[in-house]
């Protein structure tokens, strides 16, 4: 990406950059929450398949009544009324996650010309050590001496 990809467009205020940074951070937190929801989905499914083995082992151990209880009461059971975990994931995506992504993208497009992570890019400029080979302003510039004027989220 060229330098302009993470530079603040003309006329975008410090407050707007900070607000978009906060909106982006909230979306990133939602991405993490969604990942946990997928983990819940996969772990619950794995547990349900392990119940098949438990049923077999209970039968083999001479406990057919317990095997039947596990099979009929827990195996394949809804995790909340009317829902398996895939339905919870689908509802979350449709009801919350996708509208949030769409709104965040529209805000970045409308307020910052589509330039992502302006807050973080400006913070990087403030926090990096100029001239250090591991503190370059962007990828693909090893050994380049930076002459860019430091800016910042509030500067």
pLDDT by 10s per residue, the chain, length 155: 345 678 888 999 999 999 999 999 999 999 999 999 999 999 999 999 999 999 999 999 999 999 999 999 999 999 999 999 999 999 999 999 999 999 999 999 999 999 999 988 888 888 988 889 888 887 875 555 555 545 555 44
**Is position 73 within any domain?**
yes
Q: How many residues does the chain have?
A: 155
Give the residue among 79, 13, 75, 74 at the shortest CA–CA distance from 40.
79
**Is position 1 within any domain?**
no
**Is position 52 within any domain?**
yes
User: 83-108 burial, b if ≥16 CB within 10 A, otherwise e?
Assistant: ebbeebbeebeeeebeebeeebeebb
pLDDT value for 155:
43
**Is position 152 within any domain?**
no
**Is position 49 within any domain?**
yes
**What's the domain range around 61?**
12-127
- In the chain, the number of structural domains is 1
The whole-model pTM stands at 0.78
pLDDT value for 107:
97
pLDDT value for 17:
93
**Is position 151 within any domain?**
no
Angle at 8 between CA 7 and CA 13, to 5 degrees: 160
């Amino acid at each position: 990406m060229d330098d302009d990809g993470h530079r603040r467009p003309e006329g975008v205020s410090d407050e707007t950059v900070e607000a978009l940074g906060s909106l982006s951070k909230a979306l990133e937190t939602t991405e993490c929450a969604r990942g946990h929801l997928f983990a819940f989905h996969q772990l619950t499914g794995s547990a349900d398949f392990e119940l098949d083995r438990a049923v077999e082992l209970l039968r083999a151990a001479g406990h057919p009544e317990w095997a039947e209880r596990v099979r009929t009461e827990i195996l394949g059971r809804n995790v909340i009324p009317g829902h398996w975990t895939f339905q919870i994931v689908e509802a979350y995506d449709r009801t919350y996650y996708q509208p949030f992504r769409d709104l965040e993208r529209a805000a970045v497009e409308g307020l910052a010309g589509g330039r992502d992570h302006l807050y973080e890019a400006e913070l990087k400029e403030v926090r990096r050590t100029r001239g250090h080979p591991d503190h370059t302003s962007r990828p693909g510039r090893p050994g380049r001496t930076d002459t860019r004027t430091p800016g910042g989220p509030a500067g």
